[in-house]
Amino acid sequence: MNTLSRLLVITCLALPFTACKKEEAPKVEAVAAVPLPASGEQKDWVPYLQYKLTPHMGGITNSPYVYFLPMPDSEDFAGKYERQVEKLEQDLGRGITEGNMLVFASPAPEKEVEMIETAFKSVGAGTMKGVKVVFIGTPILGERVKAAVEPAGVNYIFEEAK
């Protein structure tokens, strides 16, 4: 009986150690880089934007607001530009709340920056805290965007277009 009791105690003590399995670190799959699209078609930019935006989606509670201008030589570019400026100004005028993201990308980055600078002039200082603004473009243009959007209190993120 004494031996049986000892075996029972040893089994009870050993059981938790044999049942425990070391937790494995989650496997991270490498995501293949998506190249910058050569075309000015918005549909061609969707995979690229998904690739660039995925790392910044933490804390975002809604679908991002995406502002995209086509190539400057596209049909009715001036009209598309005016409609984008108007839409951006309306969105900003209604107020963008914490947990939202605004994304700016375009094969016409100079006009995109012009649009951002124009629309953000009317945004009050500190009124967009907790909002992420992502600009995909060149570093020089990124600095212009940063100067235009940071007074609003946004979390500015620059992604180089490449």
- Residue 19 domain-assigned? no
Percent of the chain with pLDDT over 90: 62
Mean pLDDT, range 66-93, rounded to an integer = 92
pLDDT at 10 over 90: no
pLDDT at 19 over 80: no
Domain count of the chain?
1
pLDDT at 31: 64
Residue 137 lies inside a defined structural domain of this protein: yes
Region 102-112: what's the mean pLDDT? 94
Judged against a pLDDT cut of 70, whether residue 20 lies above it is answered with: no
Q: Output the pLDDT for position 67.
A: 94
Is 22 domain-assigned? no
User: What was the pLDDT predicted at 37?
Assistant: 87
- Which of 18 and 86 is assigned the larger pLDDT? 86
Residue 6 domain flag? no
Residue 118 located in a structural domain: yes
Is the pLDDT score of 4 beyond 50? no
User: Is 7 a residue whose pLDDT tops 70?
Assistant: no
- The residue-averaged pLDDT of 32-56 equals 88
The sign of the torsion formed by the CA atoms of 161, 98, 154, 81 equals positive
**119: domain range?**
28-160
Give a yes or no: residue 82 inside a domain.
Answer: yes
pLDDT of residue 27: 52
- What average pLDDT does range 96-115 have in this prediction? 94
Looking at the domain assignment, is residue 128 inside a domain?
Answer: yes
The whole-number average pLDDT for the span 36-62 is 89
**91 belongs to a structural domain:** yes
Higher pLDDT, 38 or 99: 99
